[in-house]
Chains A and B, each alone.
Chain A
C-alpha cells in the first residue's frame, strides 16, 4: 500500500464523481448557464491529471495528492458550489429541506481553494516540512480553515443568498471573529511562502534549489492575480480580470509542480523566474503611476476626462524604459546574481585583455570564480585531435554536461561544469560570451602545438641523422677502412718478400690484395647508395621499379614518367622503400599496388597491399621516421586504415611546384 498514491487515486475518483454530477445537473438545468461550469471543469483537470502523473512516477511523493486536491477543490468549491447555489436560487421555495445545510457549507468554502496551495508551499518538494520547528504550520492552517468554515456557515448570508437562513447560528460576536480569521489566514499564507524561502536558503543540493525555484515561479501567479485585480478595478471598476489570474494559476501551479518534480533538470527556470519578478514589479509600479497620475489629472480636469487618461498614459510611457532597465538590473542582482557576476566578470576580463592587463588564457579561472564552480574546465577543439584538450593540450573528458562554445556555427571548445550552481541556460550564455576568447586561446594552442610538433620532429630528424652517421661511421670503420689497411699491409709484405728474394708467395698475396680491393669498392658503393640511392639518377620510376624486382610479391606499378625535383623524388623513393619493406616484413599480402601521381602542385605516392593491415606509425618505427621525413619535405603521410583485415595503405602527399 503506497498511501500518497492511494490518496491521489481517491481524490481523483472523488473529483470525477463531482464532475459527473455536474454534468447531470447541467443537462437538467440548462437555464443556469453552462459556460462557467465547463470552464471550471476544464481548469481543474490539469491539476488532477498531473497529480495522477506524479503519483504514477513517484508513488511515495506526498505532493501528488495535494496537487490533485488543488483541482478537486476547484471543481468542488467553484464548480459544484456555484452551480448548486444558482440552481437553488431558481426557486427558493421548492428547495429541499437540507438546502440550508448545503448553503452553510457553501458559505465559507472559498477558503478551501487556498488550503492545498498553502500546504504545497509548506511541503514542496519532498512532502516534508522545512524543519521540525514548522510542525505548527500545517496544523494551524487546517484548524483555521475548519474554524472559518464553521463560523461562516453560521453567519447570515449576503443577498441574494439571504433567502436561506443559516442551518445553525453562531453568536454575533463570532461574526467579527470570522473577519479576523481571514486576516489570520492571509498571515498564514505569507508564513507558508516564508517556509519556502527558508527551505531554499537551507537546501544544499542544486536539485532541491532548482525545484523550489520552479515552484516559486508558479506561485508568483498568486501576487500577479492581485495585480490583475487592481488593474481590473482601474480599467473596468469590476474585478473580472481576476478570473484570468485564477485561470492562469490553475494551469501554472500544476504545470510548474510537475516540471519541478519530474523534469527540473531539463529546463532552466532562473531567467523566467527573474523576468517574471521584474515584469510583475514593472507592471505594479506602472499601475501605481497610472493610478496616481489619473487621480491627480482627474482632480484637475474632471473624473471622466479623456485628457486625464492620456496624461496618465504618457507619464507611464515615459517611466517605462528606465524603470524596466533598473528593475531588471535590481531583480537580477537579487534573484539571479550568478548571471550578473558572470556578465560583469566577462566584461572586465575583456577590458583587461584589451588594455593588455590580462590574457585570454585567464578565461577558465575567471569563469570558475564567477560561476562559483571551482571544478569547471574549458576544453578546446584542436584539429587532428579527437575530443577536447585543456590549456596544456592534455585531453579532457567531455560528457553530457558539456556546453559547446561556437564561433559562427563551428564548435571551438566547450565549458565543462563540475556541479556548480549555474543552470545550463546561464552556462550557455557564458559560453556565448566567451566564444571569441576561447577561439583566441584555441588558435594559440594550435600554434603552440604545431610548433612543438615541428620542434619534436626536427629533433627526431636530427637523431635519425646522427644514428645514420653513426652507422655509416661503423660501416666505414669495420669495413672499407679495415680492408684498406690490410691491403696496404699485404702490399708491403709482398714488397718485402720481393726485396728479400722469398718471392714464392707474392703472386698469392697480390691476388688477395686485389680481392680485398674489390670488396672494399663494393662496400663503399653500398654506403654511397645508403647516402643517396644511385638508381634515382635514372628517374623515380626506374628507381622504384628496381626496388620491386627482388620482392617475393607481385607488384602493380604506376609511376609518373615526368621528372620531379630531386628532393621530391628522394623522399618519394624512401616512402616507397619503407612501405614495401613493411609489406614484406609484416603484411602477408598477396599483391601490392604502387602509384605515384602528379596532382596540380603535389606528388602523391600511394602504396597499398591486401594483407593483414592494422599498421600504425609507432614512435621509433620506420613508419614514424617516414612521417618526419615527409613532414620535413613539407608533405604529410597517412597510414591506414587502423582496422585489421582491410590491408594497409601508406600515402604521402608531397608539395611539388608545377
Chain B
C-alpha cells in the first residue's frame, strides 16, 4: 500500500512509518502539517493517507479539514484520521462515505487490528474507533429503540458501526457468517433501517441513526 503519513510529532511519525514498512507497505511521503499533506497527496497519488487531527499551524482540527479537502479532490483515496482522544469535531459523517477511518492513536498498540483497519479503509471500507461507537450507543434516551435489541445484537451493532464487515464481525465474535447475517437483518428491522448490500452504506445508516438519536 502506498501511504502518506501526516503527523507533526516526529517520534510518532517515524515509529508509525517503521511499523508500516515492517508490514510491507511503502511510505511515499512523511509530512508535518496540513498544507504539505495536500501537496504530497497531489504529487504522489497514494492509496492511503494517515492523518493526525491536530497539526500545525492551528493545532485545532487542521487534520479534519485537510481530510475533507482530500475526500473532495481524491474520492478514491483512503483516509485514516488519528487523534490522541475522542474529538468533538464532526468527523463521523465522513465515515459513512467509505474509504475513511477515525481511530485513537493508542489503537496502534494492537498492531494487527490497526493494520487491518488501514487496509480496510484503503480498500474503500470504514473504521470507526470503538470509543466513538461506545459513546454513540451509550447516549441513551427515553423509549430508546436500542432497548429492543438483545445484548448480542447490540454487540453486533457496535462492530457494524466500527466499520467491520460481516466476516470481520463473525471472526471477532466467533460466530458463523450465517448467524451474523441473521443478527444484522434483525437489527436493521428493529431499528427500521434499510439493509444495504454495500458495507459502508450499512455503516452510514447505522452511524447516522445512532448520531441522530
Contact = CB atoms under 8 A, between A and B. Distances in A.
A490 B11 CA distance: 10
Q: Chain A at the B interface: mostly helix, strand, loop or mixed?
A: helix
A516 B11 contact: yes
Nearest to B22: A496
Interface in B98-141: 105-106, 108-109, 111
B19 A482 contact: no
A471 interface: no
B9 interface: yes
B108 A481 contact: no
Contacts of B105: 485
Given A488-B108, A492-B109, A496-B111, A482 B22 contact: no
A478 B111 CA distance: 22
B9 A490 contact: no
Interface of B is mostly: helix
Interface string A499-521: 01010000000000000100000
A486 B8 CA distance: 13
A482 B11 contact: yes
Contact of B12 (A485, A492, A496, A502): A485
A648 to B, nearest CB: 37
A522 interface: no
Contacts of A489: 12, 15-16, 19, 108-109
A519 to B, nearest CB: 10
B84 interface: yes
A493 B19 contact: yes
A497 B111 CA distance: 12
B15 to A, nearest CB: 4
B108 A485 contact: yes
Nearest to A482: B9
B11 A483 contact: yes
A477 interface: yes
Nearest to A497: B22
B108 A492 contact: yes
B74 interface: no
B11 to A, nearest CB: 4
Interface string A198-225: 0000000000000000000000000000
Nearest to B12: A486
A490 B15 contact: yes
A483 B15 CA distance: 11
B7 to A, nearest CB: 10
Contacts of B84: 477, 481-482, 485
Nearest to A505: B18
Given A482-B11, A483-B11, A493 B109 contact: no
A481 B11 CA distance: 12
Interface string B8-46: 010110011011001000000000000000000000000
A488 B9 contact: no
Interface in A447-483: 477-478, 481-483
A502 B22 CA distance: 9
B12 A493 contact: no
Residue of A478, A485, A488, A502 with most chain B CB atoms under a 10 A cut-off = A485
Contacts of B15: 486, 489-490, 493
A485 B107 CA distance: 9
B11 A493 contact: no
B142 to A, nearest CB: 33
A333 to B, nearest CB: 76
Contacts of B9: 478, 482, 486
B75 to A, nearest CB: 31
Nearest to A500: B22
Contacts of B85: 477
Give the residue among B11, B16, B106, B109 with the most A Cβ atoms within 10 A: B11
A497 B105 CA distance: 21
A222 to B, nearest CB: 93
Nearest to B13: A486
Contacts of B11: 482-483, 486, 516
A492 B19 contact: yes
A492 B106 contact: no
Interface string B68-107: 0000000000000000110000000000000000000110
Contacts of B22: 493, 496-497, 500, 502
A483 B106 CA distance: 11
A587 to B, nearest CB: 35
Contacts of B18: 493
A493 B23 CA distance: 10
Interface of A: 477-478, 481-483, 485-486, 488-490, 492-493, 496-497, 500, 502, 516
12 contacts: A478-B9, A482-B9, A482-B12, A485-B108, A486-B11, A488-B108, A488-B109, A489-B108, A492-B19, A492-B109, A496-B19, A502-B22
Please provide the 4 A-B residue pairs with the shortest distance between their CB atoms, ordered closest to farther: A489-B15, A486-B11, A488-B109, A485-B105
